[in-house]
Amino acid sequence: MTDVLGMTLTELRDEIASGSISSQQATKVYLDVVEEREPQVSAFREVLADRALTRAAEVDDERQAGKDAGPLAGVPIAVKDNLCTPFGRTTCSSKILANFKAPYMSTAVGKLVDAGAVILGKTNMDEFAMGSSTENSGFGATRNPWDLNRVPGGSSGGSATAVASRMCAAALGSDTGGSIRQPAAFCGVAGLKPTYGRVSRYGLVAYGSSLDQIGPITHDVADCALLTQVISGHDPRDSTSLTADVPDLPAAINAPPGSLRIGLPKEFYSDALDVEINAAIHKAADTLAQTGAQLVEISLPHSRIDRDAEGKLSSYAVACYYIVAMAEASSNLARYDGVHYGHRTSKDVEGIVEMYSKSRAEGFGQEVKRRIMLGNYTLSAGYYEAYYSKALKVRRLIKNDFDEAFKLCDVVLCPTTPTTAFQIGEKASDPLTMYLADIYTISVNLAGLPGLSLPCGLSAEGMPIGMQLIGPPLGEPVVLQVGRLFEQVSGISRLTPPIVERTGTN
Amino acid sequence: MNGAQDIVRALIGMEIHVELGTATKMFCRCRNSFGDRPNTNVCPVCLGMPGVLPVMNRQAVEYSIKVGLALKCRVPNFCKWDRKNYYYPDLPKNYQISQYDLPLSAEGSIEIPLEDGRYKKIRIIRAHLEEDAGKNIHDNPTHTAIDLNRTGVPLLEIVSQPDMNSASEVMAYAQTMHRLVRWLGVSQANMQMGHMRFEPNINLEITRNKKTYKTPIVEVKNLNSFRALRNTVAYEIDRQYEQWQVDPSGYAMDKMGKQNRGYDDASGRTVYQREKEEAHDYRYLPDPDLVPVIVADQWRDEIAASIGELPLARRQRYMADFGMTFKEADALTQEPATGDLLDRAINKGADPKRCVNLLLGKGAAIANEQVCSIAEIGLTDDHLAELAKMLASGDVNATAAERIFSKMLGGEQGPRAIAEAEGLLAVTDTNAIEAWVEQALSANPQAVEEVKSGGKKQTKVLGYLMGQVMQKSRGAAPPTEVQKLLRAKLGL
C-alpha cells in the first residue's frame, strides 16, 4: 500500500484526491499508529476514532460522487484541546473543564472541516496553554518522540508530538508566547504562528487574548502554507481578525524569493545561547547566504537578553509578556467559577464566595493559579501603573524595534529556543527558568508578527534544533518562502524521530 | 445646641442607567427584549462560553453618541472598551465590558426647569456604554435562579456632577433625562421594564458657627421609579441632617467616606446595607477582544444632524413665538411627534392658539383615554389646520369643533366634509335661528313665564331656554346670536 506515514499533508491530500488511497484507509493507518504509540507519548486528550472513520467515509463518498470535497479532502488532522468543537470535549487539559462540551464550532476548526479534513482527535497541552513543556496538563505530561524522557515543549506539545510521531498528517496549535514554535523546534517539525488577527480566534479558549493566535504544526513548510491558507481570513465573529485578503500561500512559497535580506538580531547571539544551537543557526544563515541572500545585522534592543551578576538571564520581553498575558488570563479565566462553567466543588460551602473559591482551588492546577494571582496583582489599584501600564509601553518599544528592523531586512532569522528539549521534571519546580524557554519567541507575539519555526539540524545528543524566521505584519508569504528555500537547499526536512524508526512503521 | 442657625445644603449627583432600545444586544445578535421566558434570548457569546468573542453593536454606539451630543458632551474620535472585573452570578464572564478612562462622551451639561420658572445647568461628567448584567431571582428559599435574557443588553450610564441641591431638582433632572432619551428615540425608557434606573449620591454640606461640615456620601443603587427617587432623596436629606446633629464631628465624610444604602419601597425609606468586606477593586484592563471605536468626524456630524430640535429649545420657542404658558409648551414637548404635528399645521397657515387649544383640549383627553401621545390618536396636520381655520373664520363654533375633532381622527373625511354631513356648520341665517327660538318658547310656556316674572331663577331658566335652542340647531347656531334673539323675544 501507499506509504501514508512517509507523506506530508500535501502529498497525502494529492494521493487521496487521485484515488490511489481512500480517506478511510489513510485514517485507519493513522489510528493504528495512535493506538501503538499513544501509550508511550500521551499526545492526545481524546482520540475521535469512530467519528473520524465516519467522516472519512463521507469524504470518500463525496469524492466518488465527483464532488469537490475541498483542499484538505480526507486528510486526518489533530487539533489542540483549546479549540472548541461541537463533538468530543474541549478541556484545555484542565480538570476544571474536564467535562466541557462546547455547543459550537471554532472558526479555525470549522474551516478545516469545510475544507474536507477529518478531525482525528484533540491533543494534550499545558493547562489553558500556560506552559512550555506540556507538563502542566491536568491529565499527565506528553513525551518527546525523540527522547521519551524529555519534554516535547509546550503548550502545543501534544500537537507537535502527534505530528512528529506520525500520528496525524498535521495538527493545529495555538501560540501565545511560543506555544507552536517552541514545541515544533523541540520535536523537529515545522510550526507557524501567523500574524495576530490573520486567523480568527473565535472558539479558541482564551489565555492571553491580545497575543493568542492559532497556527499549524506540520511535517514541512509547504504543509504550513497549505493549512495556514485554509484557516486564515476575516471572521465577522472576531473583530480583531484582519480584513486583508489571504494570498495563495501554497503557490507563493514556490516563487523564487528574489533579492533577499536576512536580518540577524545581534542581541540574540549572546552567551545565553546554547553553543550547538548558535552554530546551527549560523550554519543555516550561511546556507541561505549561498543562495544569494544578503545577511544583515539588525538590532532589537528591547528584546535583548541580559545576564545578571549571578549569571541569571533576564529579558524585557519575557517580563513584559508575563505581565500582559497573566493580566489578560486573570480576567479570561474568571468565568470558571463553578456557577456557569467548570467544576463545582462537592464540599459543603457557606455562601457563594466559598463555593467560587473551593471550586477554583480544586479545578485549576498550580501554574494556572500562579498566573491568575500574578495577573490580578498587576491589575490591582496602585500596581496597574507600575506593571500593566509599563508593560504596554515596553510592548510598544519592542514592536517599534521590529518596525525599524524591517526597514533593513525582509525576514529575521534567529533561534527558536535557547536549548534543545530539556528533561521532564528538569524545570518543573522553577517557573522563572521555565519562562525563559520562550525567550526568542515571545517578542514575536508582543509585536503581533508571523513567526515560523523549522528544523535546522540535530544536536550531538540527537535532539532537533529549530530555527525561527520572523516576518513583518502579514509577511507569511516571505517567511514561508525563505523556510521552503532553506528546506530545499539544506535538505533538512521531515526528520524522523527514533520512535518512528524503532517501530519501523515508516 | 439646636440647629436653627445651621445652613444645610444638599449636594446630589446622579448616575442614570439607560437600557438602549436596539433590536439586538450590545455584543451579540440576540434579541434585546423584555419579558420573554427566562434564558431564551441567549447565545454562546452573551452566556460568556469559553472561546467566544464579543462583536460591537454599531447602532448602540450611534445611540450613545446621539445622547452625548444632545448633552453637549465632547465626543472624542477615539474610545475603547475595558473589562470591569467582579464576581457575580448574573455576570457569566465575571467581568463586564464597559468603558473606563476613554468614554464615548464626556464633559457636557443639561438645563433643567426649576419650580420658579428659571433653568439650572447640571454638568455631565461622562456618558459611557456598557453591557447590562442578567437578573438573580430570589423567589425560592433554597436556591437562586438566574435569568440571562438581560445579559449583554446595551446600557448607557450617564454620570452627573453633584450639582443638584434638592429633591425637586433631582426630579426635574430625572424627568428631563427621561424625556430626552425618549425624544431621541434611543430608549423606550419604560420604568416598569427597568429601562431606566437611578443611583443618586447624596450628602450634606452644613455650616454651623462659620464652620463647614460634610456628611458621608450615601449612594442608593437601582431605583427604578420616580417615586422611589423622590422618596430616597427627601428621606436621605432629613436622615443625614438628623444623624449629623447627633454626632457632628463623627458623622463626616473624611471619617466614613462613601456608604451604600438600599431603598425600602414599603416604608419609603433607605436602609443601611452592611459594608462590603473590602473596597471594590475592579482591576480594569483594556478589553483585548474588541478593537477601539473610531468616531470619524463625518459619522459624528451625521449623528449630530439627525438630532434636530431638542425639547428645551422647542419649549422655549413655543413660549416665545406662540405665547404659550410653560404648562402648555411642556405638554406639547413630551415627545417630538406632537410638536412636529403642531408646527406643520401652523406652517399651513393655522392660528397657533386655536391649534394648541384643540390639541390640549379634546386631543389630550383622547390621548389620555387611549394611553398614548397626542400625535398617536390619528390626527393629521391638514385636518388640524383646516379645523383651526374653520374656528377662526366662525364657520364652526367651539362645541361643534370638538365633535368634528373626534370624528376626523384616523378618517379620510376632513373637518369641513364632516361639518357639512353632520350639519355642524355655523348657521348664519337669522330666520332659521328665529324659528328655533319660537319653537323653544312655545314648547316651554312655563319657563317663559318664569323669565318674564323676573326673580332669582331668571338667569338659570334663561340658560335652559338657550340650551333648548342650541339643541335644536344641533350646536350649529352661534351662541351670541341665539342669546340676542332670545332676549329680544322675551323682552329683556
Cα–Cα distance measured from residue B229 to residue B12, given in angstroms and rounded to the nearest whole number: 12
Q: Collect all residues with Cβ–Cβ distance below 8 Å to A191 and sequence separation of at least 6.
A: A156, A160, A173, A175, A180, A181, A183, A184, A185, A215, A216, A217, A218, A224, A452, A453, A454
The pTM of the full predicted model, rounded to 2 decimals, is 0.91
Q: Is residue A26 one of the residues assigned to a domain? A: yes
Grouping H, G, I as helix, E, B as strand and the rest as coil, residue B409 is coil
Smallest CA-to-CA distance from A184 within A452, A483, A413 is with A452
Q: Higher confidence at residue A101 or residue B249?
A: A101
Q: Cα B418 to chain center, whole Å?
A: 35
Residues of A near B (Cβ–Cβ under 8 Å) read 82-84, 90, 92, 97, 100, 102-104, 106, 201-206, 208-210, 236-240, 327-328, 330-331, 334-337, 339-341, 352-353, 356, 376, 379-381, 384, 388
Residue A80 is among the residues annotated as catalytic for this protein: yes
Instruction: Say if residues A116 and A70 touch (Cβ distance below 8 Å).
Output: yes
What does the mean pLDDT of chain B come to? 91
Catalytically annotated residue among A179, A232, A315, A330: A179
Task: Give pLDDT tens digits for B382-403.
Answer: 999 999 998 888 888 888 888 8
C-alpha cell at position B86: 467582579
pLDDT of B486 > 50? The answer is yes
pLDDT of B3 > 80? The answer is no
Predicted local distance difference test score (pLDDT) of residue B445: 85
Q: Is residue A9 one of the residues assigned to a domain? A: yes
Chosen from B29, B42, B43, B49 to mutate, greatest number of chain A CBs within 10 A: B49
Q: Is residue A16 one of the residues assigned to a domain? A: yes
B89 shares contact with chain A (CB less than 8 Å): yes
Q: Is residue A325 one of the residues assigned to a domain? A: no
- The residue of chain B with its CA nearest to that of A96 is B50
Residue B335 gets the label, from left (phi > 0), alpha (psi -120 to 50) or beta, of beta
Cα–Cα distance measured from residue B206 to residue B232, given in angstroms and rounded to the nearest whole number: 19
What are the beta bridge partners of residue A215?
A: A173
CATH of the domain at A117: 3.90.1300.10
Confidence of residue A229 (pLDDT cuts 50, 70, 90): very high
Of all helices (H) and strands (E), which one includes residue B200? strand B196-208
Cα–Cα distance measured from residue A174 to residue A81, given in angstroms and rounded to the nearest whole number: 10
C-alpha cell at position B475: 350646536
Confidence of residue B1 (pLDDT cuts 50, 70, 90): very low
Question: Taking residues A409-423, what's their average pLDDT?
Answer: 96
Task: Give pLDDT tens digits for B91-106.
Answer: 999 999 999 999 999 9
To the nearest whole percent, how much of chain A has pLDDT over 70? Answer: 99
Smallest CA-to-CA distance from B96 within B245, B285, B280 is with B285
Overall number of domains in chain A: 1
Given A236, A328, A341, which is nearest B50 (Cβ)? A341
Catalytically annotated residue among A80, A122, A193, A358: A80
pLDDT of B146 > 50? The answer is yes
pLDDT of B43 > 60? The answer is yes
Question: Taking residues A332-359, what's their average pLDDT?
Answer: 92
Task: Give pLDDT tens digits for B177-225.
Answer: 999 999 999 999 999 999 999 999 999 999 998 899 999 999 999 899 9
Task: Give pLDDT tens digits for A16-53.
Answer: 999 999 999 999 999 999 999 999 999 999 999 999 99
Confidence of residue B275 (pLDDT cuts 50, 70, 90): low
- ipTM of the complex model: 0.94
Confidence of residue B274 (pLDDT cuts 50, 70, 90): low
CB-based burial of residue B392 (10 Å sphere; 0-12 exposed, 13-18 middle, 19+ buried)? middle
Q: Is residue A335 one of the residues assigned to a domain? A: no
To the nearest whole angstrom, how far is the Cα of A111 from the nearest Cα of chain B?
Answer: 16
Predicted local distance difference test score (pLDDT) of residue B276: 52
Task: Give pLDDT tens digits for B315-348.
Answer: 999 999 999 999 999 999 999 999 999 999 999 9
Chosen from B39, B42, B46, B53 to mutate, greatest number of chain A CBs within 10 A: B53
Predicted local distance difference test score (pLDDT) of residue B279: 58
Residue A155 is among the residues annotated as catalytic for this protein: yes
* For residue A159, cis peptide bond before it (omega within 30 degrees of 0): no
What does the mean pLDDT of chain A come to? 94
Question: Taking residues B249-264, what's their average pLDDT?
Answer: 86
Residue A159 is among the residues annotated as catalytic for this protein: no
Which residue has cell 333648548? B468
Decide if A203 and B52 are in contact by the 8 Å CB cutoff: yes
Cα–Cα distance measured from residue B77 to residue B105, given in angstroms and rounded to the nearest whole number: 10
Predicted local distance difference test score (pLDDT) of residue A506: 42
Decide if B89 and A339 are in contact by the 8 Å CB cutoff: yes
Predicted local distance difference test score (pLDDT) of residue B277: 45
Task: Give pLDDT tens digits for B72-85.
Answer: 999 999 999 999 99
Catalytically annotated residue among A155, A200, A303, A330: A155
Decide if A103 and B284 are in contact by the 8 Å CB cutoff: no
- Right CATH for B430-490 from 3.90.550.10, 1.10.3730.10, 3.40.50.300, 1.10.10.410: 1.10.10.410
Decide if B87 and A341 are in contact by the 8 Å CB cutoff: no
To the nearest whole angstrom, how far is the Cα of B50 from the nearest Cα of chain A?
Answer: 5
pLDDT of B448 > 90? The answer is no
Predicted local distance difference test score (pLDDT) of residue A308: 78
Report the first-to-last Cα separation within chain B, whole angstroms: 74
Instruction: Enumerate the CATH 1.10.10.410 domain ranges in chain B, comma separated.
Output: 430-490
Q: Is residue A413 one of the residues assigned to a domain? A: yes
Confidence of residue A505 (pLDDT cuts 50, 70, 90): very low
Instruction: Say if residues A227 and A183 touch (Cβ distance below 8 Å).
Output: no
What are the beta bridge partners of residue B219?
A: B201, B260
DSSP state, residue A127: G
Range of the domain at A221: 4-262+408-501
Given B85, B281, B290, which is nearest A334 (Cβ)? B85
B52 shares contact with chain A (CB less than 8 Å): yes
C-alpha cell at position A454: 523549522
